[in-house]
Chains A and B, each alone.
Chain A
Amino acid sequence: SQELEQSPQSLIVQEGKNLTINCTSSKTLYGLYWYKQKYGEGLIFLMMLQKGGEEKSHEKITAKLDEKKQQSSLHITASQPSHAGIYLCGAPYSGAGSYQLTFGKGTKLSVIP
């Protein structure tokens, strides 16, 4: 079974609309990382969340971590075509201090101009 489940698997939104991507863990979270990947390219680091209740924002992207629910959400406000890509969440399951990441399958985001 998948340790990190992302939903939805894919998302098509109109430019300017808001959207949310969720990442749910089946195991205790010691932190949660969000990355973005363009097709055929490497991963670009977006944000890292380490504490329950932590919320971080960068430009129009906000990520939150709910440790009790073992889940994180990534919210994009007023989406733009530049936001299109695959969003991946990753978690260090080897314990606090370990940086080996287990990733979800990703959410493919398309933004229609």
Chain B
Amino acid sequence: EAGVAQSPRYKIIEKRQSVAFWCNPISGHATLYWYQQILGQGPKLLIQFQNNGVVDDSQLPKDRFSAERLKGVDSTLKIQPAKLEDSAVYLCASSSGGNEQFFGPGTRLTVL
């Protein structure tokens, strides 16, 4: 069974630029999560999707972050414009509705 795929693995941008991350969950997993993990911290949930609908985006900074999950499969997370404090690892996870979340390898973003 293929795991959660994310790309790119690394991204370096300058502040005020835009960036997008892509996530392909495990086949058949209806629930998809995006987390932000700042160095030295645990992952923080940004947004949760159930199929192509948003379940919770209360911690998503909506003035600069956006996410979508068209067709209820792949998802993209966008930051526009990026700030220095957005430097972090962005993790995507999926689950089949049960308890266990399967995580992708993450995208490490550096904002200069």
Are the chains A and B members of one assembly?
Answer: yes
Which one, A41, A50, A99, A106, contacts B31 given CB within 8 A?
A99
- What number of A-B contacts does a CB cutoff of 8 Å give? 56
Query: How many Å from the CB of A48 to the closest CB on chain B?
Result: 5
Query: How many Å from the CB of A72 to the closest CB on chain B?
Result: 14
The reply to whether the CB of A113 lies closer than 8 angstroms to some CB of chain B is no
The reply to whether the CB of B4 lies closer than 8 angstroms to some CB of chain A is yes
Pair B108/A40 contact, Cβ less than 8 Å: yes
Pair B102/A45 contact, Cβ less than 8 Å: yes
Size range of the chain B interface in the assembly: 20 to 34
Pair B100/A43 contact, Cβ less than 8 Å: no
Which has the most chain A C-beta neighbours within 10 Å: B44, B93, B99, B106?
A: B99
Q: A4-B42, A100-B56 are in contact. Are A42 and B95 (CB under 8 A)?
A: no
CA distance A48 to B42 in the complex (A): 17
Which has the most chain A C-beta neighbours within 10 Å: B41, B42, B48, B106?
A: B42
**Contact code string A14-57 (vs B, CB < 8 Å = 1, else 0):** 00000000000000000101010000111111001010000000
Query: How many Å from the CB of B55 to the closest CB on chain A?
Result: 8
B55: nearest chain-A partner, CB-CB = A100
**Contact code string B1-17 (vs A, CB < 8 Å = 1, else 0):** 00010100000000000
Query: How many Å from the CB of B51 to the closest CB on chain A?
Result: 15
Query: How many Å from the CB of B5 to the closest CB on chain A?
Result: 11
Query: How many Å from the CB of B89 to the closest CB on chain A?
Result: 8
